[in-house]
Amino acid sequence: MIILGLLVLNEVPYVQNLGIRLRTVLFSLCVGSFFALDLPLVFGVVSWVPFLLSMILGLLVTYSMFVWMKKGQPLEAIQKLKRIFMYPALITFIMYTNLYGLGLVPPVPLSLKYIGIYHKVEKVNGEYLLSYHRPSWKFWQNGAQTFLAKPNDSIIAFATVFSPVSIKDQIMLNWYFDDPKQGWVKWDSIPLSISGGRAEGFRGYGVKKNYQVGDWKVIISTSDQREIGRISFTVEENTSPDPVDYDVDRF
């Protein structure tokens, strides 16, 4: 959405008149994003360390350009170059780092490809068979986001997370319940070790046996609590005496 907004703003005459300052900001974003995407591949983890190093490398690249451009220039030109090039770049990298600290920058290169809620899971010949039951008209749900629970049912959150081959890290399945008195309360956190390289995404799931009727959500995050994706669902009692007829998703 930010990139789309920048593309639209780039056509606005006022923004175009900003000239080099705007191009410097965009260039700094590109350089910082390039290193922020690639350094986790080198380290094999997604964390603060590769991100901060990516910002430092991006700043070094920008500063090297500044040093090259100011060669042979008079003092007045150098001062102007600082105002229209170096200072905007520095501010951009500082803002980028702050956004990461606030959790507003996604933990690239990890990305959630799918997440769903299920009643049962089996693995047959390398394929996951996921059973679910839901009202037929709720076709947009992933699995059983309206979870009709019978006694002794377990709730299974299944997810596929894309990760490059060099990434070997841990993600967390964080379970939250919307308590009528306290609001969203964290009930559980289930770790999953991921190993990248599968085009369809790393497959994993968490099982919850202790739950109650109401609204729930599962947030998938990195080990340092950077959100990769989430799903919301509602648990209701299934009081029907009839046996449950399950559908099956395959992954």
Q: What is the pLDDT of residues 153-178, one digit of tens each?
A: 999 999 998 887 767 778 899 999 99
Largest CA distance in the chain: 87
Q: Give, in order, the Cα–Cα distances in Å from 212 to each of 73, 113, 141, 187, 224.
A: 71, 28, 20, 11, 28
pLDDT number for residue 116: 96
Going along 19-126, which residue ranges are E strands? 111-118, 120-124
For residues 231-242, give the mean pLDDT.
90
For residues 116-136, give the mean pLDDT.
91
Q: Show the domains of the chain with their CATH numbers.
A: 2-101 (no CATH), 111-250 (2.60.40.1930)
For residues 196-222, give the mean pLDDT.
87
Q: How far apart are CA 17 and CA 69, in angstroms?
A: 22
Average of per-residue pLDDT values in the chain: 88
If DSSP codes are grouped into helix, strand and coil, which group holds residue 131?
A: strand
Q: How confident is the model at residue 152 (pLDDT cuts 50, 70, 90)?
A: confident
Q: Long-range contacts made by residues 61-65, C-beta under 8 angstroms, separation at least 24?
A: 61/31, 62/27, 62/28, 62/31, 62/86, 62/89, 62/93
pLDDT number for residue 3: 75
Q: How confident is the model at residue 244 (pLDDT cuts 50, 70, 90)?
A: confident
Rg (alpha carbons) of the chain, rounded to whole number: 24
Task: Give 199 or 92, the one with higher predicted confidence.
Answer: 92
* Counts of helices then strands in the chain (DSSP H, E): 6, 11
pLDDT number for residue 234: 95
Q: Of all helices (H) and strands (E), which one includes residue 146?
A: strand 146-149
Q: Give, in order, the Cα–Cα distances in Å from 108 to each of 9, 61, 98, 192.
A: 25, 21, 16, 18
pLDDT number for residue 196: 64
pTM: 0.73
In tens, the pLDDT along 51-92 reads 999 999 999 999 999 999 999 889 999 999 999 899 999 999
Q: How far apart are CA 39 and CA 109, in angstroms?
A: 10
